[in-house]
Amino acid sequence: MSQIQSAFLLEVLSKVARRYTQRGQLNGVMKIGTSLKHEQLQILYNFFGIPPIRINNKEEVRLHFAFALENTPESEWIKKINSHLGYKVQAASEQDPSQAISTLVNRLKLAFPDLEAITKKLAASQDDLKRMLKNETETNVTTFCFQAAEALRFLLGNKTPITISELGARFFNNSKLLRQGEARHLILRWLNVYCPDLDKGENEDQIWATYHVYHDRLTVNAVIYAPIVYTKNGKEFDWIFKLYEQGEAATISWANLQGIEKIQWKERIDNPPNLICCENEAPFSQLIRQKADDCIIFTSGFPGSAVCKIYELLGPQAAACFHWGDTDPNGLYIGSLLHSIYPLQLFRCGIETLRQHTQYLLPLSQKQEQRARFILQNNPHFPFRKELAYTLENGWMEQENWRQDV
């Protein structure tokens, strides 16, 4: 065989080797070239046999691995290719991924300096990347990680509702990718790295909602009891106030909130009410009966996009803002999220109330204790440190355990 012929075979075998490295197996059909010379075809026939080499009507020469494997197992083909190439061909799953991971992490560091927490975690614990590299090519894993980093960067600053499908389509060109599977769980794990205050024991939908990601934007709403009217497209809407006059709460959708030009108290501009955010449903109904003159927002656990928006609009107009919730780490964290939008005080769950209700406090679970310690040790600016420290020492108070006669 001449040097030219030998070079042609090595080129073809190198291409087969790269395919095996990426896919981990010899399968499918590989294009070798178009309008090959007779000598080149003879080389292919001699090495692979006649059945695997097919030529179509466009004179494209293709190698069909299924025919090559009919009489010779894959392991024998790999040995034969190794012998001709002079080195051992390995599938990606058999290779040490350390160098590929190191390269990927360094590229992510350069591209996303604001996501240092992620790159540090990836460098320290390589399980996610090792798992992906076993199933995908290095190129595909790199592309996916860059897309995931872009999605994460967006979520950390997002305040507008977006659906799971829209998030997938926008950053991964696949609207179904984040509905289930490894990609979905990777984003959740990355959120946990960057925002460790968030309890990942929460329901996944609740975690997504914290970053304003929903399955359906129609579910994004806020329940509010308030003497308010708003102006939109030059027209005043007073339906929330009319419900308030009847002692009823109103449900405001995200669509209702879009394009509001002005929102204000009805007949209370010179005497604004207090604004109370309430975590749970039963206490919310109780507050409507007890605090009929105030504005009360139901957060329904962690505040979603609509709750945050309405609080942002009304907080600065209120006489004072308060939060009433459980005093477990989650409940106080909810209060801190609202406090970061506009400052508020704790209502019926502050340190003095806790001291008065010691006999009604509930013991923290091990997981709750761990989270409380984490927040106290890692968040020096947490606004309700006294309450959280007292809770850690004595137990937490459920909203429904508040007693007026204590």
pTM greater than 0.85 (yes/no)? no
pLDDT of residue 4: 58
**Which is nearest to 175 in space by CA: 184, 183, 166?**
166
The ranges of the chain with pLDDT < 50 are: none
pLDDT tens-digit map of 263-320: 999 988 889 999 999 999 999 999 999 998 999 999 988 898 899 999 999 999 999 9
Q: How many residues does the chain have?
A: 406
**Domain check: are 231 and 210 in the same one?**
no
Where b means 16+ CB within 10 Å and e means fewer, 5-24 reads: eeebbeebbeebbebbbeeb
- 185 and 67 in a common domain: no
Total count of domains within the chain: 3
Q: Which domain holds residue 23?
A: 3-92
pLDDT digit string (tens) for 93-117?
Answer: 555 677 888 889 999 999 999 999 8
Region of 173 on the Ramachandran plot (φ > 0 left; ψ -120 to 50 alpha; else beta): left
What is the three-class DSSP state of 254?
helix
Are 403 and 368 contacting, i.e. CB atoms less than 8 angstroms apart?
no
Q: If you write DSSP's letter for every residue of 52-73 in order, what string do you get?
A: TEEE-TT-EEEEEHHHHTTTS-
How many alpha carbons lie under 13 Å from residue 85 in its C-beta half-sphere?
A: 18
Residue 281 lies in a domain: yes
Boundary residue ending a domain (165, 194, 214)? 214
406 part of a folded domain: no
How is residue 12 written in tokens? 């073809």
> Is the dihedral angle over the CA atoms 86, 87, 91, 94 positive or is it negative?
positive
Of the candidates 43, 61, 92, which is a domain's last residue? Answer: 92
Matching residue, tokens 């291409």: 15
Q: Residue 60: inside a domain, yes or no?
A: yes
* Per-residue pLDDT, 133: 76
Which pLDDT value is given to residue 78? 87
Q: Of 38, 57, 92, which residue constitutes the final position of a domain?
A: 92
